[in-house]
A and B are shown apart, each in its own frame.
Chain A
């Protein structure tokens, strides 16, 4: 299984006037450019050969940084903060937390 990286357009939205700003703080789009994945110290790496497609990692991810494609889970490294909950919860222990090397 080859992982396809999701492409998101990282463009900062700046409204010119208060009239354009939504009344409620909704969908201001700040997360499009604020890529919290850079906070990560350890990264989850999923061994898809042993994945049983249970979807538990997807369900538990507090940052919605795991997505399902062709019934397999993939990590969105733009937003994964490396908390390790997916690795802890994975029943087949196929997610390894690997140190980020920079």
Chain B
């Protein structure tokens, strides 16, 4: 069934079709309509789930962890300050191997108060052990929630499905909402190997000394390394059943590209317009859209970028005192494999300032004008 829905509701429908059993959320800004629609679905019994209202995002994640540990498929959603308030519990979810799936709407961090988009909220959670998927359309949001449950539950690692505030969260698009029976066939019920139950009591998260803590973290990383292959497998399976591919990255006109613009989130689709315009000018440009950020898709990135002559990484985020975060990651993926490939770092669109196709053209021309980058950050669109 095709429906015109906003990005927030695409998350809600994804959670509904995945038959989430427990949803815990804090309802006030920066929260969005994601949980509003889910609470309506719970009230009208469209979704047979327990909706838990809590007093903070910290508690929301705590409730999700407990529910997941009891064996329930668990979903929540948040944004910016809410996500960062959860930070401690994000470590609990991944360290405890609870496959919670969470929607995060990328909103800039305060101060000053902002509800507009940039990626510093979710990228600040880089090392928490969560999978991170950055979406570029409402359709992709819905599909990714379903796939994320599958990947997360297979490996017992939580997932974050990320979308840009307003540019996607409040933008209405046509979304194909798959049939429940088909989703059920793709995503079997959650059946964890261990669960907390009075009939088989366990202590969870107790004191773990130097004898065992190291091994717990080793095992998490080993399972993280299995994610890229599993994302490819489950993505192909999804394509077979629903006709839409879900991969680690998406490349656009990269085959013969001399310059590749690397983007994430909705900027990827804007970049395509810029790429088309550059092609009309005779510039062989391409776009690599990073769908997965954690684990970082090293192999795919190397495979695609090393074919180009130059790379421009466009970041809607900043690591203060360093540079753009995707810029950093892309360079680290290439290091040791292709030393000569010049990688240029651009920062633009912080706090929801628009990124236009013209800006991508500007970035491409700046990159083509120099043999190698002369500064850590090239700022695009800042008033100075």
- A residues with a Cβ closer than 8 A to B are 14-15, 18, 21-28, 30-31, 34
Looking at A18, A31, A34, the one whose CB has the most chain B CB atoms below 10 A away is A18
Complex interface: chain B residues within 8 A of A28 (CB): 203, 206-208, 212
Q: In the docked arrangement, what's the CA distance between A27 and B219, Å?
A: 17
* Given contacts A15-B215, A18-B218, A24 and B208 within 8 Å (CB-CB): no
The distance from the CB of B222 to the nearest CB of chain A, in whole angstroms, is 9
Per-position contact with A for B185-225: 1 when CB-CB < 8 Å, else 0?
Answer: 00000000110000000111111110110011011000000
* Partner pick for A27 among B193, B203, B209, B211, CB 8 A cutoff: B203
Q: In the docked arrangement, what's the CA distance between A28 and B206, Å?
A: 7
User: Do B194 and A25 touch (CB < 8 A)?
Assistant: no
* Given contacts A14-B211, A15-B211, A15-B212, A23 and B219 within 8 Å (CB-CB): yes
User: Do A25 and B193 touch (CB < 8 A)?
Assistant: no
The distance from the CB of A12 to the nearest CB of chain B, in whole angstroms, is 8
* Partner pick for B215 among A18, A27, A31, CB 8 A cutoff: A18
User: Do A21 and B207 touch (CB < 8 A)?
Assistant: no
Q: In the docked arrangement, what's the CA distance between A93 and B236, Å?
A: 68
User: Do A31 and B206 touch (CB < 8 A)?
Assistant: yes
Q: 30 A-B Cβ contacts within 8 A?
A: A14-B211, A15-B212, A15-B215, A18-B218, A21-B212, A21-B215, A21-B216, A23-B97, A23-B193, A23-B194, A24-B96, A24-B97, A24-B156, A25-B96, A25-B204, A25-B205, A25-B206, A25-B208, A25-B212, A26-B205, A27-B204, A27-B206, A28-B208, A28-B212, A30-B207, A30-B208, A30-B209, A31-B203, A31-B207, A34-B207
Q: In the docked arrangement, what's the CA distance between A14 and B204, Å?
A: 17
Q: In the docked arrangement, what's the CA distance between A14 and B208, Å?
A: 11
Question: Is B95 in contact with chain A by the CB < 8 A criterion?
Answer: yes
User: Do B194 and A22 touch (CB < 8 A)?
Assistant: yes
